[in-house]
Chain A
């Protein structure tokens, strides 16, 4: 199941390999973020060195696939031909409060005209495209009730 209509560019690991572990883990349904082995800080997107202590001893560490909505936008005007008949869609900026507040982009699944609440908890949903060329996985988000 794909949130957006097919035809957008598919993500592939950077040629220099910087984010390859992230995409490999995502294909396995595991959410990872980059963490410094020297000072313990988290960072996203990936960098070659830690922005805090400048160590190059960095790892992609699995995290709970949960965050909260830091900001969002509802897109109406398609800027790519693949989305010509998409209609509105939701992009969320998800923050990870337990990982130094780093953030990640994804879509918010469900009704594109739903009310979106900044600060609301969300959980990751892995959108796998194993039969595409090349195969890829997107990390999507859905509302998540803390008390459920």
Chain B
């Protein structure tokens, strides 16, 4: 038997809670998780009691046993956490769910992510203590402590090596905000971004302006996967997982910024495996959702997935190329982490499914192949490709 996930499992249901500004969710994180899971099951037309597996990432706090008990699940068979990687684990969690289904370990797995930062504290804040030890002792006392600061160093080097101008990063932010204006769920709906507004915005850390950085939000998102056989009987047209890959290159995690290949989003070794499994190439991808922790990560990940040459970024990254419906590579069509919601990237995977179903608020016509890149630079990273029934 060929060792591949291509076409073996499919997404039959997607669900989200409303998206809130950070700290403003009216409900606790665990209840948000339950709400998104129930919504995804309703969308799939199945009872949540028939779920038999959970997959998540970034040390999600909603415990699978407690979820299974709360939902009254008949029998739990699969409880999986993608190890490490923060938002880099989003597409890997979907791959893990599909692998469990393909291997017969589970029948119906929900992938979910829930965040209530008001309840549990924020990302992106420096440590508040008198002393610090270990790897962090070699960075924090120098004022290097937030994700933006960790990743700006890589992006600066990449921009230096390839002559990338600030306008290339700006185009990514403009595309995300453009799509958010069509999406009533988006936190930034009704708040358009212009070149002037971007240029006038304050620096967070060079080369990132305020609008190069993701939002921080509360909410939850979920998607239900079953085998391709079961998906054929589902309510919605199935969205098949064509391929997925996760990991990182040689010594990507070497401490204190010592990865030998440093100025990278960490997808150089992942992208070839992704395309090989999916049986498609970058030229076949109709629409892309690429995780924006920071625009610079999006730029490098698009290069490393073969959509653009590293030395051609200034020409490729212009807004018209990146917007639906007519752009050469419509990008983050829900508004993404910059302008829809920061649900740790799972919202991007859900948007990719919507594009295959044909129901995005910024729909690209005739989508067959819909791709997601999760958590650039946050190793182990992952990416995945969904396809319509026509791609099988």
Contacts and interface: CB of A to CB of B under 8 A. Distances in A.
Contact of A103 (B129, B131, B132, B257): B257
Contact of A74 (B131, B139, B203): B203
B255 A91 contact: no
A45 B255 contact: yes
Contacts of A138: 141-142
Interface residues of A, number: 46
Contacts of A8: 126, 140-141, 143
Interface string A105-133: 11100000000001000000000000000
A11 interface: yes
A12 B132 contact: yes
Looking at chain B's contact residues, the main secondary structure is loop
Interface stretch (B11-19, B41-49, B150-158, B275-283): B150-158
Nearest to A74: B206
A146 to B, nearest CB: 20
B254 A105 contact: no
Contacts of B260: 101
B153 A9 contact: no
A53 interface: no
A9 B129 contact: yes
Given A9-B130, A77-B205, A79-B124, A107 B157 contact: no
B146 interface: yes
Given A8-B143, A83-B143, A104 B205 contact: no
Interface in B103-146: 124-146
Contact of A79 (B130, B146, B262): B146
A75 B205 contact: yes
A11 B132 CA distance: 5
A43 B258 CA distance: 8
B131 A77 contact: no
A4 B142 contact: yes
Interface string A82-103: 0100101101010000000111
A21 B139 CA distance: 17
A56 interface: no
B263 A71 contact: yes
Interface string B218-255: 00000000000000000000000000000000010011
A72 B135 CA distance: 19
Contacts of B191: none
A46 B138 CA distance: 10
B359 interface: no
B131 A12 contact: yes
B145 A105 contact: no
Interface in B356-390: none
Contacts of A101: 260
Given A8-B143, A89-B143, A77 B202 contact: yes
A43 B37 CA distance: 46
A109 B126 CA distance: 22
Given A71-B153, A71-B156, A79-B146, A10 B132 contact: yes
Given A74-B205, A74-B206, A45 B135 contact: yes
B139 A105 contact: yes
Interface of B: 124-146, 148-149, 152-154, 156-157, 160, 202-207, 251, 254-258, 260, 262-263
11 contacts: A8-B141, A9-B132, A9-B136, A11-B132, A19-B134, A23-B137, A73-B153, A74-B203, A79-B149, A104-B138, A105-B142
